[in-house]
């Protein structure tokens, strides 16, 4: 965990990018022990269109699949994206 304000880079893909209107932004989190969940909660306030993605969204931190509880260090890259389709067999 990291105490104090962290600035993280956030990216979005596919329909999440459309919902937010941009693929990339910097987010400052002035909160102790910030996690991927903290970032997504903050973004939902700013972009209500993100709310419906909450049950299915996937998260990567520094280009590895991560969990909501994954702690963030300064300059971490946090990426939110929808599940992959699977496609019809």
Q: Which residue ranges make up the site for other proteins (CB under 8 A)?
A: 11, 13-15, 17-18, 52-53, 56, 58, 60, 63-65, 79, 81-89
DSSP letter string over 21-88?
Answer: T-SEEEEEEESTT-BHHHHHHHHHHH-GGGGGGTTT-EEEETTEEE-TT-B--TT-EEEEEPPP----
- Our CB check for other proteins shows the closer of 1 and 89 to be 89
Residue placing its CB nearer to other proteins in the complex, 30 or 49: 49
CB nearer to other proteins: pick between 3 and 63: 63
CB of 77 to other proteins, least distance (A): 9
Any idea which residue has 């049950």 for tokens? 55
């Amino acid at each position: 965990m990291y105490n104090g304000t962290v600035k993280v880079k956030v990216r979005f893909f596919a329909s999440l990018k459309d919902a937010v209107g941009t693929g990339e932004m910097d987010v400052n989190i002035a909160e102790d022990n910030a996690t991927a969940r903290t970032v997504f909660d903050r973004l939902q306030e700013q972009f209500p269109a993100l709310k419906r993605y909450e049950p299915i969204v996937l998260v990567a931190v520094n280009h590895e699949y991560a969990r909501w509880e994954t702690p963030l260090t300064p300059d971490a890259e946090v990426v939110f994206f929808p599940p992959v389709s699977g496609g019809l067999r």
